[in-house]
């Protein structure tokens, strides 16, 4: 296991998750990117940029804040349509192990350690779209097949923030589901 992967495991929380994922070997040639994917990715980064402004507006004008929230919901609905189209393009969601700095996935195709990958990721259910570069750091044999472990390279602050929020949200959801399950089992 590489030193970078070990540091990542200690610093960031890791979850098992269902995401849409497209994997390509990275090359320096311009890839033909999906216009919808790029627009969805930009929408979510703009949303992060707008949040401090919305908080500022809410302090001064509640009506204007409510109006902007309605506009945001309308944009989110358009984003959901984009996600639906992208899922057809990227394929069905798959189970991965995800942290703020890395991703592990099982698949039929194997990528050699040291390979550079271009990953298109859609975080479900909200459809946050990320395109990230990653380097394969380890291959592991599992019951499901060969697992590829890769570390993200050159993540922007916005991308890291989207990953962190998604992971915290999924972790909270898993805890709520576990608590609800425990409460149901305890009832006579």
- Dump pLDDT digits (tens) for 57-67: 888 888 888 88
Q: pLDDT tens digit string along 34-50?
A: 677 778 878 878 887 88
Confidence of residue 10 (pLDDT cuts 50, 70, 90): low
Domain tally for the chain? 1
**C-alpha closest to that of 106 among 138, 136, 133, 142:** 142
CA dihedral 70, 73, 75, 80 (to 10 degrees): -160
Tokens of 8: 């990542």
Q: What is the pTM of this model?
A: 0.76
Do the beta carbons of residue 72 and residue 57 sit within 8 Å? Answer: no
Give the mean pLDDT of 51-56.
85
The count of other CB atoms within 10 Å of the CB of residue 96 is 19
Cα–Cα distances (Å) from 28 to 88, 117, 171, 187, in that order, read 26, 11, 36, 59
pLDDT the model gives residue 30: 44
The answer, yes or no, to whether residue 181 has pLDDT greater than 70, is yes
Place of tokens 């409460």: 183
In the prediction, which pLDDT does 117 show?
A: 95
Range with lowest mean pLDDT among 15-19, 36-40, 168-172 = 36-40
Residue 62, domain extent: 3-27+34-186
- pLDDT above 70 coverage of the chain, percent: 89
The enclosing domain of 87 has a CATH number of: 2.40.10.220
**pLDDT mean over 133-143:** 93
DSSP state of 8: H
Q: Which of 47, 166, 146, 187 is nearest to 98 (CA)?
A: 166
Question: What is the reported pLDDT for 127?
Answer: 84
pLDDT at 135 over 50: yes
Give the number of other CB atoms < 10 A from CB of residue 35.
Answer: 9
- On the CB side of 162, CA atoms within 13 Å amount to 26
């Amino acid at each position: 296991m590489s030193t970078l992967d070990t540091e990542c495991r200690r610093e960031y929380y890791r979850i098992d998750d269902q995401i849409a994922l497209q994997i390509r070997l990275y090359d320096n040639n311009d890839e033909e990117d999906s216009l919808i994917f790029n627009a969805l990715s930009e929408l979510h980064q703009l949303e992060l940029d707008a949040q401090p402004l919305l908080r500022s507006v809410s302090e001064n004008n509640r009506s204007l804040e409510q109006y902007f929230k309605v506009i945001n919901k309308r944009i989110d609905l358009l984003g959901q349509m984009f996600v639906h189209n992208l899922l057809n393009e990227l394929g069905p969601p798959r189970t991965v192990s995800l942290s703020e700095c890395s991703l592990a996935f099982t698949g039929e195709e194997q990528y050699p350690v040291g390979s550079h990958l271009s990953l298109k990721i859609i975080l479900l259910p909200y459809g946050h779209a990320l395109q990230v570069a990653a380097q394969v750091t380890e291959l592991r044999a599992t019951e499901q097949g060969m697992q590829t472990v890769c570390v993200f390279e050159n993540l922007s602050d916005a991308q890291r923030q989207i990953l962190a929020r998604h992971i915290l949200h999924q972790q909270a959801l898993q805890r709520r589901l576990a608590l609800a399950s425990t409460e149901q089992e305890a009832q006579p």
